[in-house]
Amino acid sequence: MIIIGIDPGLAKTGFGVIDGVRCIKYGMIVTSPDVPVQMRLRTIFREICAVLDAHKPRELAIEQLFFSRNVSSAIDVSHARGVVLLAASERDLDVFEYTPNKVKQAVTGSGRADKKQVQKMVRAMFGINEAMPVDAADAVAVALCHANMRLPQN
């Protein structure tokens, strides 16, 4: 089953498309802070739609919103999440949400892993030899977390 993972953000939205043990595609949608928010959101929406249409995932896994100090950054992430969820809804995709700690636990074995540890494990698990942006690695990790959650538990 093809699953897309999303690490949402207004400046950088990471995505990762997996199919079992293969990482089919990963990347980032980058928007400029010099562009009005609505234009940045349109870019994210259009590019996510293009990825969804190209790879036709059946399920979308996205990181749950978590913030502790910076409310304005949480609002920006919420905007990005909204357009991603809209794109998923328009394609009747099932959406699953995971906390950052759950994703880290699923990929590294520790809910306290840092972004570099997640990136290293994702690259190792999928045999990715080239440099990989951390936001894209986080998105692949979200997809992998969801794939692991789908497995029957003993």
Express each pLDDT in 122-144 by its tens digit.
Answer: 999 999 999 999 999 999 999 99
Q: Which of 47, 59, 76, 135 is catalytic?
A: 135
Please tell me the predicted confidence (pLDDT) of residue 150: 80
Per-residue pLDDT band at 20 (split at 50, 70, 90): confident
Q: Which of 47, 63, 76, 138 is catalytic?
A: 63
114 given a catalytic annotation: no
Please tell me the predicted confidence (pLDDT) of residue 43: 98
- Check: CB of residue 61 under 8 Å from CB of residue 142: yes
15 forms beta bridges with: 6, 27
pTM, entire model: 0.94
76 given a catalytic annotation: no
Please tell me the predicted confidence (pLDDT) of residue 67: 65
Please tell me the predicted confidence (pLDDT) of residue 79: 95
Domains held by the chain: number: 1
Residue owning tokens 């992430």: 77
Task: Give the residue numbers spanning the domain of 26.
Answer: 2-150
Please tell me the predicted confidence (pLDDT) of residue 154: 46
22-57 confidence digits (pLDDT tens): 999 999 999 999 999 999 999 999 999 999 999 999
Task: Read off the CATH number of the domain in which 109 is found.
Answer: 3.30.420.10
The string of DSSP letters for 35-61 reads S-HHHHHHHHHHHHHHHHHHH--SEEE
Q: What percent of the chain has pLDDT over 70?
A: 95
Please tell me the predicted confidence (pLDDT) of residue 153: 56
Question: Considering the chain, what is the average pLDDT of its residues?
Answer: 94
Q: What share of the chain is helix, strand, coil (3-state, %, to 5)?
A: 50, 20, 30
